[in-house]
Amino acid sequence: MTILYNILLYLLAPFIFAKLIWRGFKADAYWHRWPERLGFLPFVVAKPSIWIHAVSVGEAQAAVPLIKALRQKYPHYSIIVTCTTPTGSSRIRESIGAQVQHVYLPYDFPGSVGRFLHAVQPHLAIIMETELWPNLFAGCAQRNIPVIVANARLSPRSARRYAKWKKFTARVLANVKMIAAQSLLDEQRFIDIGARHEQVQVTGSIKFDVQISGSIVEKAQVLRRSIGNNRSVWICASTHAGEEEIILQVFKRLRVMHSDLVLMVVPRHPERFAQVAQLCRKTGFQVALKSEGSSDLSQIDIFVGDTMGDLPMLYAASDVAFVGGSLVPVGGHNLLEPAALSLAIVSGSQLFNFQEITQLLLEAGGLKLVQDQDELVEAMQAVLANPHLRQEMGEAAKKVVEDNRGALDRLMALVDKLMDHSK
């Protein structure tokens, strides 16, 4: 099966690079740093290292507290952080760039993987969430590099896909030392696709361990004063194509009842920033972009977050949050960032990637789910018209975050155990 996998991988190679070229027309960062994708590093790893892979923005953000904990616990080790997307790369460089060495993860070609592992020679490999690469994991096993799949989750869709190739998936997972699952549901799904029972341990989601720095809150306060502290701010974050149109229609209807309401729109992908800004301008409302850096936003109606790395600050400047990828079949995005900031959260119902977190927030009363535009108007009207309800929802959401902290400590205990064994 491995031979067949590699044959298929090489046959797909021209299409893989053609896709990079195609995506580069929307975001030219895809045209750069190709040697890294083939395992050629632009630096020399001079010290013993720990390697962390975070595929894109969400995983990179979740990895930040882990990286900080590793740097504190293992100061004599280089921390190597890989990702696969330009947005993930930007997030890593903006948040922790000076503290780590960063490259793209090479494609899973045997030669590329071999070059990368020979150059990095990590004492430990930590793969965030669910990235299962047969040649990469086999290469780690051959070099006695222990692998942890950390903050691991498996959506129903992914579980069904892996289950179709259970024997092959089981062989891939056999090269993993430990799977630190986010939930009991994730634990069972990993076992169902071939992981051994003793291989999987529920540690919880380290996204609950999110910490919002004082400097972010201070920047948010400056932004909020510029908009007007007496106005209500509704942030719609990590939005996808098809959602902005719905949100803008809802905003038009809400403005009839709440004339001081300001809408913040933060698209998930930077290649859509300009497109979404143009869509907002077509409404006739007064629009400002974060990239413009205006210090007076008192007359705006819509604010477009078109810069990378500013989402926590924009959340902190808001009153009510909608988290995207939930009115379209994407599966949702991180609900815990707004929850940690005591924001009332209104979301679409397509949150299949965050089932347990969704359930916790719903049971606590920190989250309202909607199916369509009319329900979104109704839910937002209820929250905006009742400051007491808004406060109660925000406090309930934050309590969920506070009550579920500790996953980072449990994950670090696993890391310590494997680091001791690898020395």
H-assigned helices in 121-194: 134-142, 156-163, 166-173, 184-192
Length of the chain (residues): 423
Structure tokens at 16: 């893989």
Which residues, 6 or more positions from 407, have their beta carbon under 8 angstroms from its beta carbon? 151, 182, 203, 204, 205, 206, 208, 209
Name the residue type at position 308: M
Structure tokens at 293: 């850096």
129 annotated active-site: no
Coil, strand, or helix at residue 274?
A: helix
Q: Which of 163, 178, 207 is nearest to 400 (CA)?
A: 207
How would you write the pLDDT of the chain (423 residues) with one tens digit per residue? 788 999 999 999 999 999 999 988 888 889 999 999 999 998 888 789 999 998 887 788 888 889 989 999 999 999 999 999 888 888 788 777 777 899 999 999 999 999 999 999 999 999 998 888 999 999 999 999 999 999 999 988 889 999 999 999 999 999 999 999 999 999 999 999 999 999 999 999 998 988 888 889 999 999 999 999 999 999 999 999 999 999 999 999 999 999 999 999 999 988 899 999 999 999 999 999 999 988 899 999 999 999 988 999 999 999 999 999 999 999 999 999 999 999 999 999 999 888 889 999 999 999 999 999 999 999 999 999 999 999 999 999 999 999 999 999 999 999 999 987 665
Strands (E), 270-385: 287-289, 302-304, 320-323, 344-348, 367-370
Q: For 155-164, give one letter per residue: b (16+ CB within 10 A) or e.
A: beebbeebee
pLDDT tens, residue by residue, 269-309: 888 999 999 999 999 999 999 999 888 999 999 999 999 88
Q: Which of 59, 129, 243, 337 is catalytic?
A: 59
Strand 302-304 relative to strand 262-267, pairing = parallel
- The alpha carbon dihedral of 334, 238, 68, 147 has a sign of positive
d(C-alpha 250, C-alpha 239), whole Å: 14
User: By CB neighbour count within 10 A (0-12 exposed, 13-18 middle, 19+ buried), where does 168 fall?
Assistant: middle
Average pLDDT, the chain: 92
pTM of the model: 0.84
pLDDT at 61: 80
* Intra-chain end-to-end CA distance of the chain, in Å: 33
Name the residue type at position 374: D
pLDDT tens, residue by residue, 349-377: 999 888 889 999 999 999 999 999 999 99
d(C-alpha 236, C-alpha 268), whole Å: 10
Q: Which domains does the chain have, with CATH numbers?
A: 2-204+406-422 (3.40.50.11720), 214-403 (3.40.50.2000)
- The alpha carbon dihedral of 188, 191, 195, 200 has a sign of positive
d(C-alpha 210, C-alpha 395), whole Å: 16
Phi, psi of 371 (to 5 degrees): -100, -30
pLDDT tens, residue by residue, 105-120: 999 999 999 999 999 9
Place of tokens 């195609």: 22
- Residues 139, 114 contacting (CB under 8 angstroms): yes
Strand partners, 370: 348
Q: For 214-239, give one letter per residue: b (16+ CB within 10 A) or e.
A: eebeebbeebbebbeeebbbbbbbbb
Q: Which of 347, 353, 342, 318 is nearest to 401 (CA)?
A: 342
Which residues, 6 or more positions from 275, have their beta carbon under 8 angstroms from its beta carbon? 267
Side-by-side strand order, sheet with 147-152: 101-104, 78-83, 49-53, 122-128, 147-152, 178-181, 200-202
Cβ neighbours around 98 below 10 Å, total: 6
Q: For 284-319, give one letter per residue: b (16+ CB within 10 A) or e.
A: ebebbbbeeeeeebeebbbbbbbbbebbbbbbbbbb
User: By CB neighbour count within 10 A (0-12 exposed, 13-18 middle, 19+ buried), where does 375 fall?
Assistant: middle
Strand partners, 163: none
- Residues 267, 244 contacting (CB under 8 angstroms): yes
pLDDT at 131: 81
